[in-house]
Amino acid sequence: MIKAHITAIELALTTALAQYEETMGQVFPTVPNLVPIADANFWAVADINDGPLTITVSTGLVAELKKLWMNALADDDFKAGVGGPIDASAEEMTHLGFVWLMLHELHHFEMGHFEFAGRLCLTEAHAPSTFGVVSRAKSKSSPTLTKIDAGDLPKVEPCLEMQADHDAIEMLIDAYSPDEWESLRVRTAAISAVMMLIEREDAKNNHEHSSHPKAATRIFQLLGHVIEMPMIQAKIAMQHPELEIEPIVHSDEEQAAFNRAVVIPAFFDAVNLARIADAGTIREDLGEAQDFFRDVQVAKLADPSKFDDLTTEGAVEWGRLMLFNPTLVQSQ
């Protein structure tokens, strides 16, 4: 079994690197060193202790993710839910989630997050403490961090997570196509599941001051991106005429049908996954559908003066981090 998990880990990284190359038009700047560790706990670490980039992943990460998907796909309420059953196997969902996590690690590296945070390793969920010790012993304080107000420092790492999430989301779900609705819902659910397990494991280990945003916050950003997908191409075409992109405008009817077939089911997929993963706080943080989507509308206005109107937990944290993100980007 462990051997199968190691193969799954290797395949996820290979797929992530291929996806990176396909969407960026160039190969990833380094060949990451992948270290699978036979450990039933759920964790992953990216570090630059020895060489450009090492990604260490527990086999428990594969096992837990697959267990969640086997339970979810067999769950009657999930199958009968909004949007109907998910058209993919537990293996496929696990693989997609894992590819996304690998892309997330690649983006931490590519965006210079190690240097910025003055850390030699970035962990996802509760990694063995040896990683933290190594990191602290060798890391030096980052000159860029000294430019940030002490009160804002707790927002730095969650913001870096949101940045890595954002680019990994874009890369895994790729461009909008009216022929890809089912695949989009599948990919969105695969990403939500990983975000949830990271928080669940963090919570188990009493991570009071987690470096990670809440799963609901990450899912809020994810669904906020998915809902905008039909409009992205026209937006880029307008903002960057020099790229000569065709400004395809999809009709309001298409957007409404897309919301019914993909966006709303994706929200309920997350709600069902939280129940099946026994992650009650995530369910609460997501809020009710009408509140969640009202918050998405507020967020879409991109007007920080309206962020006080956000009501669901995930959206409120999203607003707090997004208000700080421009300061962070300037220092990066």
How many residues bind Zn ion, per CB under 5 A? Answer: 1
Q: CA angle, 223 as apex, 152 and 205 as ends, to 5°?
A: 55
**HSE of 271, CA atoms in CB hemisphere, 13 A:** 17
Pick the stretch among 155-163, 193-201, 284-292, 300-308 that binds Zn ion (CB under 5 A).
155-163
CB of 216 to Zn ion, least distance (A): 17
Stretch in the footprint of Zn ion (CB under 5 A) among 142-150, 154-162, 237-245, 290-298 = 154-162
Subset of residues 201 to 260 that bind Zn ion, contact rule: CB under 5 A:
none
String marking each residue 107-146 x if it binds Zn ion according to CB under 5 A: ----------------------------------------
Stretch that binds Zn ion, among 89-97, 158-166, 171-179, 227-235 (CB under 5 A): 158-166
Cβ–Cβ < 8 Å for 233, 246: yes
Least separation in angstroms between CB 167 and Zn ion? 11
Supply the minimum distance, in Å, between the C-beta of residue 94 and Zn ion. Answer: 19
> What residues between 41 and 70 interact with Zn ion by CB under 5 A?
none
C-alpha 162/C-alpha 182 separation (Å) is 25
Minimal CB distance residue for Zn ion:
161
Question: What is the closest distance, in whole angstroms, from the C-beta atom of residue 45 to Zn ion in the complex?
Answer: 10
Residue 161 or 317 with smaller CB distance to Zn ion: 161
Least distance CB 262 / Zn ion (angstroms): 26
56 SS3 class: strand
DSSP calls for 280-312: HHHHHHH--HHHHHHHHHHHHTT-GGGGGG--S
Instruction: Tell me phi and psi for residue 45, to 5 degrees.
Output: -135, 135
The secondary structure of residue 26, as a DSSP letter, is S
Distance CA 314, CA 216 (A): 5
Core vs surface per residue 13-47: b (16+ CB within 10 A) or e: bebbbebbeeeeeeebeeebebebbebebbbbbbb
Stretches 89-97, 144-152, 157-165, 319-327: which one binds Zn ion (CB under 5 A)? 157-165
Which CB sits closer to Zn ion, 161 or 313?
Answer: 161
Bridge partners for 33 per DSSP: 54
The least distance separating Zn ion from the CB of residue 154, rounded to whole angstroms, comes to: 16
CB of 127 to Zn ion, least distance (A): 11
The window from 146-154, 156-164, 186-194, 289-297 that contacts Zn ion (CB under 5 A) reads 156-164
> Which residue lies nearer to Zn ion by CB, 103 or 264?
103
Considering the complex, state which of residue 161 and residue 285 has its C-beta at the smaller distance from Zn ion. Answer: 161
Give yes or no for a contact between 28 and 13, defined as CB atoms under 8 angstroms apart.
Answer: no
CA distance 158 to 211: 5
Contacting positions for Zn ion (CB under 5 A): 161
